[in-house]
Amino acid sequence: MIDKLLETDGQILLWIQENVRSDVLDPIVKAVTHMGDAGVIMIAAVLVLFIIPRTRRLGLLCGAALVINVLLNNVILKNAVDRTRPYEAINELHAMIGKQRDASFPSGHSSGSFCVASVIFRECRLRIGIPVLLLALSIALSRLYVGVHYPTDVLAGIITGTFYGIMTCVIYHKYISHEPSRLHR
């Protein structure tokens, strides 16, 4: 079963390479994928939210979720699973960006962007939350396009990042603030 999943993962990446990549999309997707490098856009969002007094609590929640994500996914999970990058395992696959320094599973770009986006989605109005989630999804999908993650890496990153973001909010509202979430729907 796992062998079939791994084979399907590779086939999806080769299909993207052959049928989706284009001279028009390539620079756009590369720019989107680089937004997640070293968590730059997530860290910048946390800092901006923290600096503004009105959004300081949101910045703290996003920052806490991001720290949990880095510890659990990037430090523990990536090293425990130690999955080889797809461009190193699939001869026909050509990565569009440079060699990545860490393991493939789970996608750190996906988990980082989704942990912050899930906090913002949960704590803010939909007109703010939905575009932030769409940006996170764009970053996650860009990792497939550029050939540096398997689909299961990205899916695991989305699931774990979302879980860490939501749980950070739940724990904060239940045990720290004792007030319900500010869900403005």
Which pLDDT tens digit goes with each residue over 125-160?
A: 999 999 999 999 999 999 999 999 999 999 999 999
Q: What is the pLDDT of residue 181?
A: 60
Q: State how many domains the chain has.
A: 1
Is 123 inside any structural domain? Answer: yes
The answer, yes or no, to whether residue 185 has pLDDT greater than 70, is no
Q: Dihedral of CA 171/172/173/179: which sign?
A: positive
Residue type, 135: L
Is 103 inside any structural domain? Answer: yes
Q: What is the pLDDT of residue 83?
A: 95
CATH number reported for the structural domain that contains residue 153 in this entry = 1.10.606.20
Structural domain including 42 reads: 2-176
151 vs 127: CA distance, rounded Å: 28
Confidence grade of residue 59 (pLDDT, cut at 50, 70, 90): very high
Indicate yes or no: pTM above 0.85: yes
Is 107 inside any structural domain? Answer: yes
Token pair of 185 as six digits:
């729907």
- Find the radius of gyration of the CA atoms of the chain: 17
Is 16 inside any structural domain? Answer: yes
Is 181 inside any structural domain? Answer: no
Residues 6+ positions from 175 with CB-CB distance below 8 Å: none
Q: What is the mean pLDDT of the chain?
A: 93
pLDDT average, residue stretch 60-70: 97
Token pair of 40 as six digits:
């730059």
Confidence grade of residue 3 (pLDDT, cut at 50, 70, 90): confident
Confidence grade of residue 182 (pLDDT, cut at 50, 70, 90): low
Is 184 inside any structural domain? Answer: no
Is 183 inside any structural domain? Answer: no
